[in-house]
Amino acid sequence: MSADSVSENIIPHKHSITHVDRVERNGYRPVLVWLTGLSGSGKSTLASEVEKALFTQGLNTYILDGDNIRSGLNKDLDFGDEARKENIRRIGEVSKLFIDSGTIVLTAFISPFIDDRKQAKDLAGADNFIEVFVDCPLEVCEQRDVKGLYKKAREGKIKNFTGIDSPFEQPKNADVVVKTNEESLEVCTKKILEVVLKKIKN
């Protein structure tokens, strides 16, 4: 049975508690903070710092991190281009559910392709989406090589590794750009927080 034929028999249930109800009760609008950048650029570290700052203000938050998601929900996917697209599509759908629940969701994914990040933005809604480009030169990320992945990629032990033998398409109009090789963690965190806090209160 094809996916199309199955979808014909699916009728989404309309719940009595709506997104608007949750926004009114919480007193702020949930958003999707999408951090994109090369492996080792600092996405996960920044997501954690931003989340801590938001959480201490009493806001509902959750982080979706690349390795964590690939060890569970997306463990059936490899790192080919099509699998990468499916990885981001699923994350976009999950993020949409988090937003509907009234949760500020932060994602830390390389998400190398512009079209895939646009799909995530469309799913969340443009008004609910904040794209953060964690801009760090390849050579710096490779020097850090926190997980030893660049070394393996250079040795040919990892294929389709972003920045080595797979491209990274830089955001053209990111809402926030942080340069983790030039700016401190505190400065980068503050820049992201300022945009997030302004967005959720509008």
CATH number at residue 96: 3.40.50.300
Would residue 119 count as lying in a domain? yes
- Residue 23 in any domain: the answer is no
User: Is residue 19, in this structure, part of any structural domain at all?
Assistant: no
Is 15 contained in some domain? no
Mean pLDDT score, 23-52: 93
Tell me whether residue 5 is annotated as binding. Answer: no
Say if 34 falls within a structural domain.
Answer: yes
Tell me 88's DSSP state.
Answer: H
122: in domain: yes
Q: Decide: 96 and 129 in contact? Cβ < 8 Å.
A: no
Among residues 64, 48, 33, 35, the alpha carbon closest in space to that of 196 is found at 33
The residue type of 104 is I
Task: In whole angstroms, give the CA distance from residue 12 to residue 177.
Answer: 37
Going by C-alpha positions, the residue among 25, 28, 102, 90 that lies closest to residue 62 is 102
Q: How many domains does the chain have?
A: 1
**100 in Cβ contact with 19 (< 8 Å):** yes
Portion of the chain with pLDDT greater than 70, in percent: 92
Residue 20 falls inside a structural domain: no
- Is 80 exceeded by the pLDDT of residue 69? no
- pLDDT-based confidence at 72, cuts 50/70/90? confident
> Which residue numbers are catalytic?
111
State yes or no: pLDDT of 179 exceeds 60.
yes
102 is annotated as contributing to ligand binding: no
40 labelled binding-site residue? yes
pTM of the model: 0.87
Q: For residue 77, is it within any domain?
A: yes
Domain that holds residue 149: 30-200
199 is in an annotated binding site: no
Whether the per-residue pLDDT at 25 is higher than 90: the answer is no
Which pLDDT belongs to residue 74? 76
Answer yes or no: is 77 a known binding residue: no
pLDDT for 3 equals: 54
Annotated ligand binding at 41? The verdict is yes
Question: Which DSSP helix (H) or strand (E) runs through 35?
Answer: strand 32-36
pLDDT at res. 79:
78
